[in-house]
Amino acid sequence: MGNHRADRRGSEGTASESTPVAGARAAGRRKATRRQANPFRKIPAVPTIVGAVAIIAAAGGAVGMGGGQLDGSQSLQLSAGAADAFNGTDAFNFTGEDPRAQAISRDADRLQQAQQAAADLKASVNQQSEQRNAELASLAKSAQNRADEIAKNLWVLPTVGYHLTARFGQSSGLWSHNHTGLDFAAPTGTPIFAIANGVITFTGWDGSYGYKTVETLPDGTEIWYAHQSAIEVSVGQKVIQSAEIGKIGSTGNVTGPHVHIEVRPGGGDPVDPYPAFVYHGVTP
Ligand SMILES: [Zn+2]
């Protein structure tokens, strides 16, 4: 490359004035000068390849002749710009394939490839997007179902304005065995609410429980409401959550008005109501 620069420097300022360049020296200064004076009209004969390359080099301004050897492929490759100069002239019919057409063709190929790649990418993205949307829709439906299920299973507290007076499992001289429920103490006449949707499966007097209502939930769990002063539902009645089913009292074995709540999964032995309430979304 150092030689290239040296040669170009040597012919600097002469190319545009049609003065012979390095290439012309190889062919003979006089001959080249004549050609350069008017290469198109005075030399109608087929120019020698050296002369043509010299002309091309003059127009293109770049050809390596430092080693005295003409690199034909290199110089022809560099002649794309020079070819333009001869188009349309009667002296030099440039018959080779138009480099511009080749370049345009290559550009068109690249453009087509890029467009195809973009189309492929878009199709891939669309496919992934559709798949993702389907997954999201499925997930949303699943979440909604779960939310519905949870909402359906949420409980509410059985009364208002209460305080807890006895917990599950406590022992007292009042009971022959440990306490089997959770006591919500409030004045007599305070409403008792259904803690969840269900159906009434028992109402009436039950010994130490006093007046009692049993509600069976859809999963089979029985909720016992005891010591009532009033019962306001009947067996077989469907009740919705928060519906008033009776009033707090002090019937049965009690020391004061409250509603005794028992939770009996599957109608079996009682479990601690407190964590059952918490599990169903409400803390007594
Ligand atoms: Zn109790």
Residue 14 has pLDDT above 80, yes or no: no
- Ligand 1 centroid, distance to 225 Cα (angstroms): 9
What integer pLDDT is reported at residue 95 of this predicted model?
A: 53
- Structure token digits, residue 101: 């057409």
**pLDDT, average across residues 5-28:** 42
Residue 21 has pLDDT above 60, yes or no: no
- Per the model's pLDDT, the better-predicted residue between 33 and 253 turns out to be 253
CA of 158 to the centre of ligand 1 (A): 13
Separation of alpha carbons 105 and 97, rounded Å: 12
- Which tops the pLDDT comparison, 226 or 40? 226
Average pLDDT over residues 263-273: 97
In this structure, of 66-80, 129-143, 145-159, 254-268, the range with the lowest mean pLDDT score is: 66-80
The reported pLDDT for the residue numbered 32 is: 43
Q: Give me the residue label for tokens 């409400």.
A: 282
Q: Residue 262 has which token pair?
A: 């028992």
Q: Which residues contact 252 (CB under 8 A, 6 or more apart)?
A: 206, 207, 208, 209, 210, 211, 212, 226, 227
Average per-residue pLDDT for the chain: 76
Burial 145-164 (b: 16+ CB within 10 A, else e): eeeeeeeeeebeebbeebee
**pLDDT grade, residue 100 (50/70/90)?**
confident
Ligand 1 centroid distance, CA of 264 (Å):
14
- What is the C-alpha separation between 223 and 158, in angstroms, rounded? 10
CB atoms within 10 A of CB 222: 19
Helices 49-60/29-37 angle, 10° precision: 60
C-alpha span between 249 and 238 (Å, rounded): 23
Alpha-carbon distance values, 131 to 42, 120, 138 (Å): 74, 16, 11
Write down the pLDDT at residue 97. Answer: 63
214 C-alpha to ligand 1 centroid (Å)? 15
According to DSSP, the residues that pair with 225 across neighbouring strands are 213, 261
CATH number, domain 163-279, options 2.60.120.580, 3.40.50.2000, 2.70.70.10, 3.30.365.10: 2.70.70.10
Q: CA-CA distance, 72 to 67, in Å (whole number)?
A: 13
pLDDT exceeds cutoff 50 at 33: no
Mean pLDDT of 59-82: 44
Confidence at residue 175, expressed as pLDDT on a 0 to 100 scale: 63
Is 50 exceeded by the pLDDT of residue 131?
yes
Cα(230) to centroid(ligand 1), Å: 17
Which band of pLDDT confidence, cut at 50, 70 and 90, is reported for residue 96? low
Helix and strand numbers, DSSP H then E, in the chain? 8, 9
Q: What is the mean pLDDT of residues 117-134?
A: 90
Mean pLDDT of all residues in 151-158: 88
- Residue 242 Cα to ligand 1 midpoint, Å, equals 21
Mean pLDDT of 147-164: 88
Average pLDDT, stretch 20-36? 45
User: Is the per-residue pLDDT at 5 higher than 50?
Assistant: no
Distance 157 CA to ligand 1 centre (A): 15
Tell me, what's the pLDDT at 174?
64
More confident residue, 189 or 60: 189
Residue 238 is predicted with a pLDDT of 98
Domain boundaries, the chain: 2-96, 98-153, 163-279
| pLDDT per residue as tens digits for the range 186-243 | 999 999 999 999 999 999 999 999 999 999 999 999 999 999 999 999 999 999 999 9
Cα of 254 from ligand 1 centre, angstroms: 8
Ligand 1 centroid to Cα of residue 239, in Å, is 23
Q: Tell how far the Cα of 21 is from the centroid of ligand 1, in angstroms.
A: 117
